A and B are shown apart, each in its own frame.
Chain A
Amino acid sequence: MTAELLIKNGVVYDPTNDVDGEVMDLCIKDGKIVDKVSDNAKVIDAKGRAVIPGKVECHSHMVGATPTSARILRPEDIRVRLSSATGVRRGGGGRTVPTTWEVGYEYAKLGFTRAYEAAVTPLYARQACREFDRMPILGKGIFILMGNNWMIMDYLTSREQDKITAYVAFLLRATGGYAVKIVNPGGNEAYKWNTEWNCHHADDPVPYFGVTPREIIKGLCTANEELCLPHSIHLHVNKIGTPGNYEVTLEELNITKNIEVKCDSGRAQNTHATHLQYHAYGGDSWGTFESKADEIAKYINHHDHVTGDSGNVIFGDATTMTADSPAEWGLYKMTHNKLITGDTEAEDSVGILPFLYSKKSPVHAAMWAIGLELQLLTDPWKMFVTTDHPNGGVFFDYPLVYSWLMSEKARMDIAENIHPWALKRTGLGGIDKEYTFYELVIATSAGPARAMGVSKTEGHLGIGAKANIAIWDVNPLETDFSRDSAVDKLSSAAYTIKDGEVVVKDGEVVCAPMAPIERVLPQVEHDIQKAVEEEIKTRFKRYYTLQFENYMVDPELYLSKSDRIEVVSGKLHVIPHEIPRDVET
């Protein structure tokens, strides 16, 4: 590891510290940003180059049982893109569902230094931990699915909030998770009894349990705040991809309005609503389908308890994968593509289906426009760029999204050559806003870092921050992104620096260290924890195919490289892992 590093004369963008394109030097020592280094420091000349904090991917499906099943479902995918092994890289490939190592390398090439896996059922957390243990470069964390868990719904029925909190703490400790994920609360459970059932709005009761999505969201959000977790609940609301669903979205975002944020991780929100593009539709059928992105954007701009990410659509091949299996079943009935749909015992469900976004399709054209509209109308501190990889598009294509956001001309070139609904049914044509480079850094780096609860050490370049930095071969002060396409300039980083180590140079991976998994270890009172564990043991015998004793992910075996975040009376204490091992060893 290079102990000292000096980045000279870079054009620095650091929104957290209000640095907007200032030419300055950055000093790095032992993986941290410091105020000065000795003369022996290695120098990187960044004259005329943009220097930004490493990007943070707040929602992506890249490891775990779902992407692995998708890799098996789509053997053709690896033929689209193959990359051979070099001295540093392992060989691999795949585009919509790349191999584990590829994900790490390719994200790093785009300037990312941190990524979160968005949906892992507790039962299959082992798979995610194993893959993350081998994924190079990226810092990472796992979101654990809890929105359709039988135990939680049972405790909601008996109105025992303290037990819900204890059970959430137990699940996170048992699985190496980082945050609470809620997918289509209650709806997946309904689907598992009958493929045509779902929860259609916040007060639609879950069959056989009687609890409503409203109670699930409220219960889990309360538990999340009581445990003072670094990230808020990560919410995928009901009725994804259905005309007229924006009302459900607004209603469900409003549920947590009065719940106080108790964490000291730097976040201001208690709910992160994910891939909102799929939840911002008006009309009452596909014939009257239209954009309601303005309504969603207005709500988020006026409420501090919500952040979101966009879930942009990019035309071309995608693999939809979500725990929201009723939605996947709907797609299957429409396309008759190959489908995996599954039931994860008492926890959640899953659906995987290859999908093609077509420029000729009126709905797809409008979806493309809605994603951009949503991103452009919302404060970038509250709305982050994602494609919900690989649902809306693959992360390789992020530079395309950046170019559309930064240039009206670039997006109108596309909009005029696709189905006219892109402009007729949405408000995209009337938006002349263009993202500045500074705003793009907010929406890809500083904003997500804050929402994820890592903003104290990441997503900024102040003294003491981790040295996670991306340097681009472009000078934003002299470049007019509205004319010159950002695609070429932002598609591969000149340098990516992870924890003070140069991992990417001139768009090539030069070093692939392992970064730790971050997992949260929340605590509740001993008595209630014991009581809940006793109760769960009995239910495990009844509901699960495996024994309670085998359920816990063994930290020694699966999480040897993990940063533990102990939450003690509302304060976060990060206990670092031991020295990271290199790929070779």
Chain B
Amino acid sequence: MYELITHEEKCHGCGNCVVACPVNADIDPAVAGGKGPETDEVIMRVENGVVKILNRDMCRGCGTCIESCPVDAIELKVNYR
């Protein structure tokens, strides 16, 4: 229903979205403490300087990552049925 779309050409890899995401924080205690994730089980993380979505289906569409992104590199698409 919700779909995260990233624009890698805009992303400068600050990682705000990774840390802001409440689902990430719930999964990985390191993210809750403001640090980078240590597992692959999170929704997104920064790889080689750009954001990469790992588990798209876990997103529940709160939009916190979009709020936190300074360069509008992440977008939430809502697919209405």
Measuring CB to CB, which residues of chain A are less than 8 angstroms from any residue of chain B?
538-545, 547
Contacts and interface: CB of A to CB of B under 8 A. Distances in A.
Interface stretch (B7-15, B30-38, B56-64, B67-75): B30-38
A175 B35 CA distance: 24
What 6 pairs across the A-B complex have the smallest Cβ distances? A542-B29, A541-B30, A541-B29, A542-B32, A542-B33, A541-B33
Nearest to B34: A545
Contacts of B28: 541
Interface string B24-65: 000011101111001000000000000000000000000000
Interface of B: 28-30, 32-35, 38
A538 B29 contact: yes
Nearest to B32: A542
Contacts of A545: 33-34
Contacts of B32: 541-542
18 contacts: A538-B29, A539-B29, A540-B33, A541-B28, A541-B29, A541-B32, A541-B33, A541-B35, A541-B38, A542-B29, A542-B30, A542-B32, A542-B33, A543-B33, A544-B33, A545-B33, A545-B34, A547-B35
Query: Looking at chain A's contact residues, is the secondary structure mostly helix, strand, loop, or mixed?
Result: helix
B1 to A, nearest CB: 30
Contacts of B29: 538-539, 541-542
Contacts of A544: 33
Interface centre among B28, B30, B38 (most CB of A within 10 A): B30
A545 B38 CA distance: 15
Nearest to B30: A541
A541 B38 CA distance: 10
A24 to B, nearest CB: 62
A17 B72 CA distance: 78
A106 B29 CA distance: 48
A107 to B, nearest CB: 40
A542 to B, nearest CB: 4
A547 B34 CA distance: 11
A550 to B, nearest CB: 12
B76 to A, nearest CB: 26
A544 B32 CA distance: 9
Contacts of A541: 28-30, 32-33, 35, 38
A530 B35 CA distance: 24
Contacts of B35: 541, 547
Contacts of A539: 29
A344 to B, nearest CB: 15
Contacts of A543: 33
Contacts of B38: 541
A542 B38 CA distance: 12
A148 B50 CA distance: 40
A180 to B, nearest CB: 26
A110 to B, nearest CB: 45
Given A538-B29, A541-B33, 5 more contacts: A541-B28, A541-B35, A541-B38, A542-B32, A542-B33
Most chain A CB inside 10 Å of its own CB: which residue of B32, B33, B38 = B33
A544 B30 CA distance: 9
A545 B33 CA distance: 6
Contacts of A540: 33
A298 B32 CA distance: 50
A540 B32 CA distance: 10
B65 to A, nearest CB: 20
A509 to B, nearest CB: 47
Contacts of B30: 541-542
A541 B29 CA distance: 5
Contacts of B34: 545
A534 to B, nearest CB: 13
A538 B39 CA distance: 13
A544 B28 CA distance: 14
A540 B33 CA distance: 8
Nearest to A543: B33
Contacts of A547: 35
A538 B33 CA distance: 10
A510 B28 CA distance: 58
Contacts of A538: 29
Nearest to A345: B33
Most B-side CB within 10 Å, residue of A538, A539, A541 = A541
Nearest to A538: B29
Contacts of B33: 540-545
A538 B38 CA distance: 12
Nearest to A539: B29
A103 to B, nearest CB: 36
B9 to A, nearest CB: 32
Contacts of A542: 29-30, 32-33
A545 B19 CA distance: 13
A374 to B, nearest CB: 44
A541 B27 CA distance: 12
A43 B40 CA distance: 75
Nearest to A542: B29
A543 B34 CA distance: 9
Nearest to A537: B29
A208 to B, nearest CB: 16
A540 B30 CA distance: 8
A542 B19 CA distance: 12
A25 B30 CA distance: 64
B19 to A, nearest CB: 12
A540 B34 CA distance: 11
Nearest to B28: A541
Nearest to A545: B34
A541 B34 CA distance: 8
A539 B32 CA distance: 10
A346 to B, nearest CB: 10
A564 to B, nearest CB: 32
A543 B28 CA distance: 12
B42 to A, nearest CB: 13
